[in-house]
Amino acid sequence: MSTSALSRPGERDRPLIKFIEIDWVFCLLLCLIAGAGGMIMFSVAGGSWTPWAAAHLVRFGLFFLLMIALAMVDLRVWFLAAYPVYIVSLVLLVGVEVAGDVSKGAQRWLSIGPLRFQPSEVMKIGIVLALARFYHSMSAESAHMSWWLLVPVAMIGLPVVLVAHQPDLGTAILIGATGLAIMILAGLSWRLILAGVLAVLVALPPFIMFVIHEYQRKRILTFLNPENDPSGDGYHILQSKIALGAGGFLGKGLGLGTQSQLNYLPEKHTDFIFAALAEELGFVGSVTVLLLYAAVIFMALRTASMSHSHFGRLGAAGVTATFALYVLINGAMVMGMAPVVGVPMPLLSYGGTVMLTVMIGFGLVQSSRVHRYSEVTSGRGSLL
């Protein structure tokens, strides 16, 4: 489909053209990653589709259809929904503080009737949409350096503080890092970036010693030397490293990984599924999956660059940044290069909430591709 055909009034709005314009190679890559996750879950469950593999694949199928449906939604609708989604997410986070469900010492869940969910996951989409809309109407000079930058700092800081207090340090880091990535992509001055990095380095030691919870502090200190507590806080990292090394070049084979099959590896279907994959499929399997992730990130960034609106570019790039941070943080955690903060490997790990957030985000990415010629304005007539 040519650019000229797509840009003709009326023709670009035909449903069939929208459907064709979805990046189906990108969709195939997502299916391959989710399929690899289902395969490893089947293996670590002793060759059984239950309790994880079947549920994982069914969820992905449903969320995949949701992503396709959201790709058909015009960018101007996403634009109008940006601030309401952020505000609702913020209210829900406050609701967690007031009446959230407590589980395993953390207050992260909110129950509304039969529905039970994590508002912090909604905020991962809300912060991307809100910042993309904010910067859409801001001049390049103001985005580079101005007092207006205090607004996005506050927009990022409020949810980060609320989520960190739950406590959920991993999600707080993801929200903060995603917000910072969007500010940088919007043109933030490198002088401010360097000043911020220095401020974080200065504030980090007292933050670790006096602000975060004791168990979080232990996790951070343990990853530096997990051998000091091999049966306690260092157990997860040590068992993960053993699994990574045991796989060798080609792996032990599906169903033959001792760390996962004998339950030495903790959270083998969620946070540490990549270690289980590395043991059974080896270096070759691990690199193949990482290359799939790299391809998804590259194609999503390329899609972001295609959008004619600043909102579309920043929205798609922000979603991609969140996805990339998931991969980087989980990979570093599994390899013992970062503390264990409970961040899963997206689409590979078991878990419906994170998968739903990721697929909604990719719905925005594909919408920015399908509707890349949409004229997104800041006025009330943006849908006209």
Task: Give the pLDDT score at 139.
Answer: 86
Average pLDDT over residues 242-271: 90
> Considering the chain, what percentage of its residues have pLDDT values greater than 70?
93
List the one residue out of 165, 219, 208, 166 whose CA is nearest residue 333. 219
Task: Give the pLDDT score at 7.
Answer: 44
* Residue burial 51-61, b: 16+ Cβ < 10 Å; e: rest: ebbeebbebbe
Average pLDDT over residues 208-220: 73
Q: How confident is the model at residue 199 (pLDDT cuts 50, 70, 90)?
A: confident
Q: What is the mean pLDDT of the chain?
A: 87
Average pLDDT over residues 210-225: 73
Q: How confident is the model at residue 13 (pLDDT cuts 50, 70, 90)?
A: low
pLDDT at 103 over 90: no
Task: Give the pLDDT score at 382.
Answer: 38
pLDDT in tens, 284-306: 999 999 999 999 999 999 999 99
List the one residue out of 73, 118, 62 whose CA is nearest residue 92. 118
Residue 147 has what DSSP assignment? Answer: G
More confident residue, 18 or 68: 68
Q: How confident is the model at residue 8 (pLDDT cuts 50, 70, 90)?
A: very low
Task: Give the pLDDT score at 282.
Answer: 95
pLDDT at 140 over 90: no
Helix 310-334 and helix 75-99: axis angle, to 10°?
Answer: 50
Task: Give the pLDDT score at 381.
Answer: 37
Q: How confident is the model at residue 104 (pLDDT cuts 50, 70, 90)?
A: low
How many alpha carbons fall within 13 Å on the CB side of residue 66?
Answer: 14
pLDDT at 239 over 50: yes
* C-alpha gyration radius of the chain: 21
pLDDT at 220 over 90: no
pLDDT at 216 over 80: no
Indicate the pTM of the whole model.
0.90
Long-range contacts of 201-208 (CB under 8 A, 24+ apart): none
Q: Rounded to the nearest 10 degrees, how much is the dihedral formed by the CA atoms of 193, 198, 203, 205?
A: 130
Phi and psi torsions of 79, nearest 5°: -60, -45
Q: How confident is the model at residue 270 (pLDDT cuts 50, 70, 90)?
A: very high
326 with 339: CB under 8 angstroms? no
- Alpha-carbon span 184 to 192, nearest angstrom: 10
- Alpha-carbon span 358 to 374, nearest angstrom: 24
pLDDT at 370 over 90: yes
> Considering the chain, what percentage of its residues have pLDDT values greater than 90?
60
